[in-house]
């Protein structure tokens, strides 16, 4: 294991070391000590490595992640896994606003709660939140999946496109053009796979979830829907 102590190494030096890794690197396991909530930690990774952050991370941790597995041992600030392309980001604590924003792929797991706008404008990422999510989550979500074991705040899925939302708890309110949908066998199968990937398939049943998605009424402008835009 390659250990970097941020008490003696700068964040820039850490990120430069990680960015310099080749795709076939043998340095595949990294541990980051004393992160102390610093911002933009391990952003822009592009190698199949595992990075363990031993504590809290600040804004945009693991942003633009590709191929890597990033494990955050505490809470994460705004925009964790923002614009992630692939790989896995696992937050052991809570996540602040805009977790997984605009992310195109990969898997984001949050063991605690996620704040407002979780999955905003997501474009293919899968997000599993073991706690609850805040208001305006999945706003303009284009594709991908959000799974919430707890509750969802106001305006869930506002202006949603084709993302899939599964919520086990209560939904405070649905946003414009978001409706509850039938849970068919293929949806249960996909949900079951995500629960397995997040390590909670033994704790909950897919039958406890409800599915939400787009009513497809706002794809094209119609004067009768003007107030909803």
Q: Cα–Cα distance between 219 and 91 in angstroms, integer?
A: 34
User: For the segment 177-220, what is each residue's pLDDT rounded down to a tens digit?
Assistant: 999 999 999 999 999 999 999 999 888 999 999 999 999 887 66
pLDDT score recorded for residue 82: 98
Long-range contacts of 45-49 (CB under 8 A, 24+ apart): 45/18, 45/19, 45/70, 45/87, 46/19, 47/18, 47/21, 47/22, 47/23, 48/23, 48/87, 49/18, 49/21, 49/25
User: For the segment 32-73, what is each residue's pLDDT rounded down to a tens digit?
Assistant: 999 999 999 999 999 999 999 999 999 999 999 999 999 999
pLDDT score recorded for residue 223: 57
User: For the segment 40-49, what is each residue's pLDDT rounded down to a tens digit?
Assistant: 999 999 999 9
Domains and CATH numbers, the chain: 2-228 (2.160.20.60)
pLDDT score recorded for residue 218: 72
Q: Which of 122, 118, 32 is nearest to 72 (CA)?
A: 32
Residue 224 has pLDDT above 80, yes or no: no
Residue 221 has pLDDT above 80, yes or no: no
Residue 229 has pLDDT above 70, yes or no: no
Q: Cα–Cα distance between 194 and 131 in angstroms, integer?
A: 15
Percent of the chain scoring above 70 in pLDDT:
95
Q: What are phi and psi of 76, to 5 degrees?
A: -130, 140
Query: Residue 226: which pLDDT band, with cuts at 50, 70 and 90?
Result: low
pLDDT score recorded for residue 126: 98
User: For the segment 18-28, what is each residue's pLDDT rounded down to a tens digit?
Assistant: 999 988 888 99
User: For the segment 109-166, what is each residue's pLDDT rounded down to a tens digit?
Assistant: 999 999 999 999 999 999 999 999 999 999 999 999 999 999 999 999 999 999 999 9
Entry pTM = 0.94
Residue 9 has pLDDT above 80, yes or no: yes
């Amino acid at each position: 294991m390659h250990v970097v102590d941020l008490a003696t190494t700068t964040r820039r030096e850490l990120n430069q070391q990680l960015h310099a890794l080749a795709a076939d690197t043998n340095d595949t396991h990294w541990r980051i000590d004393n992160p102390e909530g610093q911002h933009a930690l391990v952003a822009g990774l592009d190698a199949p490595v595992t990075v363990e952050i031993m504590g809290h991370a600040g804004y945009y941790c693991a942003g633009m992640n590709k191929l890597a597995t990033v494990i955050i041992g505490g809470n994460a600030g705004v925009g964790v896994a923002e614009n992630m392309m692939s790989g896995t980001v696992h937050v052991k604590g809570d996540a602040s606003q805009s977790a997984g924003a605009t992310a195109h792929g990969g898997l984001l797991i949050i063991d605690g709660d996620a704040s407002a706008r979780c999955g905003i404008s997501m474009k293919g990422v899968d997000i599993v939140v073991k706690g609850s999510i805040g208001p305006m989550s999945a706003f303009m979500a284009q594709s991908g999946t959000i799974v919430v074991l707890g509750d969802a705040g106001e305006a869930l899925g506002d202006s949603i496109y084709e993302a899939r939302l599964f919520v086990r708890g209560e939904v405070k309110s649905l946003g414009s053009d978001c409706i509850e949908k039938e849970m068919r066998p293929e949806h249960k199968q996909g949900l079951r796979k995500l629960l397995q990937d997040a390590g909670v398939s033994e704790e909950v049943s897919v039958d406890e979830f409800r599915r939400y998605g787009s009513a497809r009424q706002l794809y094209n402008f119609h004067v009768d829907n003007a107030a909803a835009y």
